């Protein structure tokens, strides 16, 4: 894992340097007082220092390899986690066109099918939770959930 730490350390140091340099371009207050750039600049410096610290620490540790029991998730579970991310991305892209109700059912049924829930339970939970959220948010809390083009005017 220390290889990853080196990478993370460098990434954070670069991010810190970027924050620092970008914050240098911020304006100052009148009379030479520090302005909105000072605080981010200090944060940038801290991030560079701690990032370099992590990288050096990890590089030193790598010289003395330590056994470490790592949990490596199986292939199938990795895909499942990716599908969760994909589901949210699809929701963002399609919710306005397809609408909340079909999207929510699609996402939940898809994920439950993937993780081996029986069809009967998938349908019960998928439809039940979708309608529950719809009633709670749209009807009680008056949050305008995306209605979609198809069902527009119906709900």
89 binds other proteins (CB under 8 A): yes
Pick the closer one to other proteins by CB: 26 or 59: 26
Pick the closer one to other proteins by CB: 67 or 144: 144
User: Angle at Cα 90 formed by Cα 85 and Cα 133, nearest 5°?
Assistant: 90
53 binds other proteins (CB under 8 A): yes
- Burial class of 31 by CB neighbour count within 10 A (0 to 12, 13 to 18, 19+): exposed
Closest CA to 2 of 69, 60, 71: 60
Helices H, strands E: what count in the chain?
5, 0
Give the separation between CA 25 and CA 45, rounded to whole angstroms: 15
Choosing from 24, 84, 150, 155, the residue that interacts with other proteins (CB under 8 A) is 84
Residues that bind other proteins (CB under 8 A): 1, 4-5, 8, 12, 16, 19, 22-23, 26-27, 29, 33-36, 38-40, 43, 46-47, 50-51, 53-54, 57, 71, 73-74, 76-78, 80-81, 84-85, 87-89, 91-92, 95-96, 100, 104, 107-108, 111-112, 115-117, 121, 125-126, 129-130, 133, 137, 141, 143-146
């Amino acid at each position: 894992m220390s290889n990853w730490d080196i990478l993370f350390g460098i990434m954070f140091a670069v991010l810190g340097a970027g924050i620092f340099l970008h914050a240098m371009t911020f304006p100052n207050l009148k009379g030479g007082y520090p302005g909105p750039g000072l605080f981010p600049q200090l944060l940038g410096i801290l991030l560079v220092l701690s990032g370099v610290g992590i990288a050096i620490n990890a590089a030193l540790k790598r010289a003395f390899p330590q056994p470490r029991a790592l949990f490596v998730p199986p292939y199938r579970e990795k895909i499942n986690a990716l599908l969760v991310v994909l589901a949210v991305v699809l929701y963002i892209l399609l919710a306005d066109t397809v609408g909340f109700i079909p999207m929510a059912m699609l996402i939940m049924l898809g994920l439950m099918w993937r993780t081996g829930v029986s069809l009967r339970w998938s349908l019960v939970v998928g439809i039940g939770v979708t309608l529950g959220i719809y009633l709670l948010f749209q009807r009680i809390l008056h949050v305008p959930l995306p209605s979609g083009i198809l069902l527009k005017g119906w709900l």
